[in-house]
Amino acid sequence: MFPDDFLFGTATASYQIEGAWNLSGKGENVWDRFTHTSPELIIDRSNGDVACDSYHKYEDDVVLLKKMGVQFYRFSLSWSRILPQGFAYKINPDGIRYYNNLINLLIKNNIIPLVTIFHWDTPQPLEDLGGFTNELMTDWFEDYARVVFENFGDRVKLWLTFNEPKQICLQGYGRNRNAPGYNSSGIGDYLCGHNLIKAHAKVYHLYDKEFRSKQNGNVSITIDLEWMEPGTNSTADREAAERSLAFSFGWYADPIFHPNGDYPEIMRKLVSERSKREGFRRSRLPQFTKEEVEYIKGTYDFLGLNHYTTFLGKDISEILTDGKPSVEKDSRTVTWQDPSWTASTSGWLKVVPWGFTKSLIWLNNRYQNVPIYITENGVSDHGEIDDQGRINYYKHYLSALLDAIHDHNVSVKAYTAWSLLDNFEWRDGYISRFGLHHVDFNDPGRKRTPKASAEYYRKVIAARKIDGID
Ligand code: PNW
């Protein structure tokens, strides 16, 4: 059984579902720009111009949520819909109205809104000034967050500042996989991370200072964790797997959630050493001042976790300094996945339920029993309505979650299935489908059809257990 106060929900993100990319006053964001100028980087050359058209069909979405019986709905705000230029001098009333309508309808239906303030869609005018490589982004993000708290904070009590900083920085600034498409591995990605962590802390303090006493909500950040299992039992590989977790999850989580604050020590040491060998005059990993470490530490009310899959990790002890720097080289590990693990349509996503239990135990130890909200978990396929593979995935991952709760005392408070709808899956366009509901992207009405997994999830939520449900 799931604990009595455990919450079930599902999630989406603005660029992936809303469409209406240039309607009702919305400004251009980096995903608009990226998909319009580099369609060849998207598998099916598609974009989010219309997507699920949830800008016009949010009422239908709420009906689907209601039917599944979820207790909360996680969605994200489009910064450029609210502030078309990115800066807070010009607020778009239609953008505010859209989110007010959605929030009010959710509340009327007894569904708690869990709001992600930023899920990857930076306003283009801010990206033109460097985006997350510009330290002023911390101010611009704070200004945006103030508008958001002022307009929605009377009803929204659960906030996430950022979704998956690691993906934003590694894929967006390090290796040109996601918008905005910088290619600055081992430099731009660290710089992005540095500013993003500061922006998060600033917004947490803003909430504390100006909003918490009246609004009484909870604020955190969502970080994704891919479990790292040692590739062999050797000490070197066991240390490598641990190092890889420090370089992936610890990078973002330690400064905020670890009692010592700051980046993991091993990360500071290895990046600094390698930078020196490469001829850099200073570490490619920026440093927090003592004051900043204290300012950032503890800026959370819970931990938001996205978890999908597991990798194997292996030590590479030789220190090559040829070619481009990279976070992976800095961490002195290589990672891969076991070809025998069940695949999905996402290249990186293999079905490994035990990795979920191990992740949660690891988090519980490292971050001292922090309350955890699972803010994403799910699997991709080709969009079958009878999606037995997805049911199987949820069944086994939920079971792995229950193991963590009951056998290892991990304090998990909520679970979010990604995603409510088939949607624009970033570089995978509309080819990889994560939805509990099928969306017909050839239909101008974007017809939604519940998959078998939606019915399965409904039953799990109603019974609050997984045994005996199929
Ligand atoms: C997440 N990885 O991205 C995002 O938050 C969602 O917007 C997205 O649709 C969903 O997962 C499915 O892709 C991730 O390589 C992308 O481990 C890649 C990884 C993890 C999460």
Residue nearest to atom 18 of ligand 1 (CA): 167
Paired strand residues for 131? none
Residue 429 near residue 44, CB atoms below 8 Å: yes
Q: Considering just the CA atoms, what is the radius of gyration of the chain in Å?
A: 21
Tell me the three state secondary structure of residue 10.
strand
How many folded domains does the chain comprise?
1
Q: What is the mean pLDDT of residues 195-205?
A: 99
pLDDT of 301 strictly over 70: yes
Is 305 domain-assigned? no
What per-residue confidence (pLDDT) applies to 317? 78
**Which pLDDT tens digit goes with each residue over 100-141?**
999 999 999 999 999 999 999 999 999 999 999 999 999 999
Residue nearest to atom 13 of ligand 1 (CA): 425
pTM over 0.95: yes
Q: What is the mean pLDDT of the chain?
A: 98
What per-residue confidence (pLDDT) applies to 322? 74
Domain that holds residue 136: 7-222+347-463
| Best residue among 15, 118, 162, 224 to mutate for probing ligand 1, ranked by most atoms within 8 Å of CB | 224
Q: How is the beta sheet containing 310-315 ordered, strand by strand?
A: 227-230, 310-315, 333-336
Residue 342 near residue 354, CB atoms below 8 Å: no
What per-residue confidence (pLDDT) applies to 470? 85
Cα–Cα distance, 105 to 407 (Å, whole number): 38
Is 401 domain-assigned? yes
Q: Which residues contact 341 (CB under 8 A, 6 or more apart)?
A: 310, 350, 351, 352
Q: Which residues contact 66 (CB under 8 A, 6 or more apart)?
A: 109, 111
By the 10 Å C-beta count (0-12 exposed, 13-18 middle, 19+ buried), 244 is classed as: buried
Active-site annotation holds for 142:
no
Is 470 domain-assigned? no
Is 254 domain-assigned? no
pLDDT of 24 strictly over 70: yes
Cα–Cα distance, 364 to 361 (Å, whole number): 5
Enumerate residues lining ligand 1, CB below 6 A: 13, 16, 163-164, 167, 224, 226, 306, 308, 346, 348, 376, 418, 425, 434
Neighbours of 341 (CB within 10 A): 15
**Which pLDDT tens digit goes with each residue over 66-80?**
999 999 999 999 999
What per-residue confidence (pLDDT) applies to 320? 67
Cα–Cα distance, 201 to 215 (Å, whole number): 18
Residue of 376, 384, 425, 455 marked active site: 376
Q: Token pair of 32, please?
A: 């608009």
Cα–Cα distance, 376 to 121 (Å, whole number): 18
What per-residue confidence (pLDDT) applies to 180? 98
- Pick the atom of ligand 1 nearest to 418's CA: 10
Is 232 domain-assigned? no
Q: Which residues contact 231 (CB under 8 A, 6 or more apart)?
A: 237, 240, 241, 312, 313, 314, 336
**Which pLDDT tens digit goes with each residue over 236-258?**
999 999 999 999 999 999 999 99
Using CA atoms, how far residue 110 sits from 6, 65, 103, 314, in Å, is 16, 10, 11, 48
Quote the ligand 1 centre to 357 CA distance (angstroms). Answer: 19
Its ipTM equals 0.97
Is 200 domain-assigned? yes
CATH code, domain carrying 360: 3.20.20.80
Residue 385 near residue 451, CB atoms below 8 Å: yes
Q: How far apart are the first and last CA of the chain?
A: 15
Angle at 137 (CA atoms; ends 133, 140), nearest 5 degrees: 165
